[in-house]
Amino acid sequence: MCAARRPTVGLDFGTSTTLVASTRGLIPIGNDTTFPWMPSLVGYADDGTVVAGENAQHLPDGQLARSIKRSITEGRDFVRIDVPTGAKDIRTDALITELLREAGRRGARRGRDIGVGSLVRLGCPAMWDGRQRRRLLGAAQRADLPVVLATMIDEPVAAGIAWLDRQRVHTGRPLRIVVFDMGGGTLDLAVLDVRGANHKDVSVLAALGIAEAGDDLDEAIAADLDIELAKAGIDIDAIENQPRARVWLRDAARTTKELLSSNDEEPIVLSPQVFGRAAEIWYTRGQLNEVFMPHMERAEDAVGLALMIARITESAKSAYEIARMPMDLLVQGVDVVLLSGGMCRIPYVRQRLEWLFESSTKVELAMDPPENAVVVGLARAGDYGTINMYRPAFDVLLEWNRGQEFRTVYEAFTPLVERSQIARGEDDLRYTRNGRDLSLPRNGKGKLRVVSYSGERLRATIGSRNLDGFPVALSDEKFGFSIYPDGRIRMTDGAGTFEGRVDDWHRLDAE
């Protein structure tokens, strides 16, 4: 069965929840619960069996791994968990495998077989590099999910596709989209360039993330409520069961945050059993906004950085100039800002972004509810061509000795430009490796090899020949290889300097 005819399933393995969708929409996979998603929880039951999803919710904290996805983001390989034989360091990838296997089983029970006959598109944070992506891929494959690197899609790109898929009218002109995906664990941002007939070609000009989102806001609101209670004469530190009061307050913070998405004020009615007396405080949206302000300021800084990277990808201006561009220039030309993730229900998010961008820029939900945008976009991604120009999906290898020895010159999904390079205002922004970095032999003959993970062969040339198979005069002194954000390639070897480019990347100034 060819890939195009295989039923496609989207799987969004989130920090807090895991969702599954077919091309027709969300497939509810919640068990013994009214929610359509499965909690991203996994742990060890008392009898030593691994349990995932809702069953893990009732485990003691020591037997449970929360936010297991973060172990990949933070590069942690093990997590300490209480098993029947005592505390043990468990490989996090093995736990992720169990969680994904459970999601696959549930999808199958609801009529969507996530087996060999189907094609799974798995989301991943845009900020992940090749190694992080391969970790999730390995875990998914061990869970018997039919997924390859080519079917792993950046989460903000998927959210953009969910929105594009619902657009009825296509003007034909290119669209510039910023995706603002704020969930429980991370804020993911992407700047997309959408072109082609019916807007089916999506290029990622920039993608980055910061590990700060909803959970941090809950903590900040709880801290603010602590102050409000003090004003009302209730000192939490003086309460007999202080931990219980703080847990109660955090729960109230989360509820109040949700309810303030549609109201200007909300009452918080204290439990006399927990706080020793009855009391009522009213928390306003203004107070919430004030608490949220520093978070949104950091989020806006990240938006600015993403827009700078996008400018570097498309513009002839020097990085020095772009790094000093004021925000009101950076935001120019953006057609739509798409909001994705549960945190985007908070009106302040939209309000701040409306203030940040030009009045002609639309700010709207990628879909309603915004928590479903990524998984629905993943399921629909087969109809779209996506090219990641910021973290290209190909390896460039330099091999010699008839392929018996090789070095990775460029590893797929490595950002072409580091944030620190922009911050320093470096002028010649590019990804570069030299012969010494790679410990190349002093001389000899080699060849460049290209391994594409996009599902299609990469069209790239150098010195008027194919990049794949291009001969290289090895030299530890002279060898240098660079990829520029606009798709230019330059290689210097023992024989000279060769210019080339990635032909698959559209020229942003061409339309």
Q: 148 or 365, CB closer to other proteins? A: 365
The reply to whether omega before 369 is within 30° of 0 (cis) is yes
Residue 286 near other proteins by CB under 8 A: no
Which candidate, 175, 168, 167, 210, places its Cα nearest to that of 191? 175
**Closest distance between other proteins and the C-beta of residue 142, in Å?**
26
Residue 22 near other proteins by CB under 8 A: yes
Residue 27 near other proteins by CB under 8 A: yes
Q: 110 or 507, CB closer to other proteins? A: 110
Q: Is beta strand 152-154 parallel, antiparallel or unpaired with respect to 119-124? A: parallel
When binding is defined by CB under 8 A, the residue of 7, 385, 444, 463 that contacts other proteins is 7
When binding is defined by CB under 8 A, the residue of 25, 286, 471, 496 that contacts other proteins is 25
Q: Look up residue 265 and give its two tokens.
A: 């004020």
**Closest distance between other proteins and the C-beta of residue 372, in Å?**
12
Q: 269 or 423, CB closer to other proteins? A: 269
Size of the site for other proteins (CB under 8 A): 29
Which part of the chain contacts other proteins (CB under 8 A), choosing from 26-34, 292-300, 383-391, 396-404?
Answer: 26-34
Q: 191 or 253, CB closer to other proteins? A: 253
Place of tokens 């799987």: 11
Q: Look up residue 233 and give its two tokens.
A: 């004469």
**Closest distance between other proteins and the C-beta of residue 27, in Å?**
6
SS3 41: coil
Helix, strand and coil content of the chain, in percent to the nearest 5, comes to 35, 30, 35
Q: Look up residue 332 and give its two tokens.
A: 């120019």
**Closest distance between other proteins and the C-beta of residue 182, in Å?**
19
Residue 365 near other proteins by CB under 8 A: no
Task: Return all residues near 181 (Cβ < 8 A) that are at least 6 apart.
Answer: 155, 156, 159, 187, 188, 189, 190, 340, 341, 366, 373, 374
Site for other proteins in 87-116 (CB under 8 A): 110-112
When binding is defined by CB under 8 A, the residue of 84, 172, 272, 403 that contacts other proteins is 272
Q: 86 or 111, CB closer to other proteins? A: 111
Q: 237 or 280, CB closer to other proteins? A: 280
CA of 461: how far to CAs of 13, 82, 330, 470, 504, in Å?
A: 37, 54, 32, 9, 10
When binding is defined by CB under 8 A, the residue of 31, 132, 271, 461 that contacts other proteins is 271
Place of tokens 């969507």: 112
Task: Return all residues near 81 (Cβ < 8 A) that are at least 6 apart.
Answer: 43, 44, 62, 63, 64, 65, 87, 88, 90
Place of tokens 């598109």: 121
**Closest distance between other proteins and the C-beta of residue 186, in Å?**
25
Phi, psi (rounded to 5 degrees) for 288: -60, -45
Q: 223 or 259, CB closer to other proteins? A: 259
When binding is defined by CB under 8 A, the residue of 227, 278, 293, 329 that contacts other proteins is 278
Which candidate, 264, 275, 279, 281, places its Cα nearest to that of 227? 281
**Closest distance between other proteins and the C-beta of residue 337, in Å?**
19
Residue 125 near other proteins by CB under 8 A: no
CB count within 10 Å of CB 424 equals 12
When binding is defined by CB under 8 A, the residue of 26, 191, 213, 319 that contacts other proteins is 26
Contact string (CB under 8 A) for other proteins, positions 225-264, x = contact: ---------------------------------xx-xxx-
- Identify whether the C-beta of residue 177 lies closer than 8 Å to the C-beta of residue 338: yes
Q: 62 or 117, CB closer to other proteins? A: 117
Rg of the chain taking only CA atoms, in angstroms: 25
Residue 270 near other proteins by CB under 8 A: yes
Residues that bind other proteins (CB under 8 A): 7, 22, 24-28, 30, 34-36, 110-112, 258-259, 261-263, 265-267, 269-272, 278, 280, 368
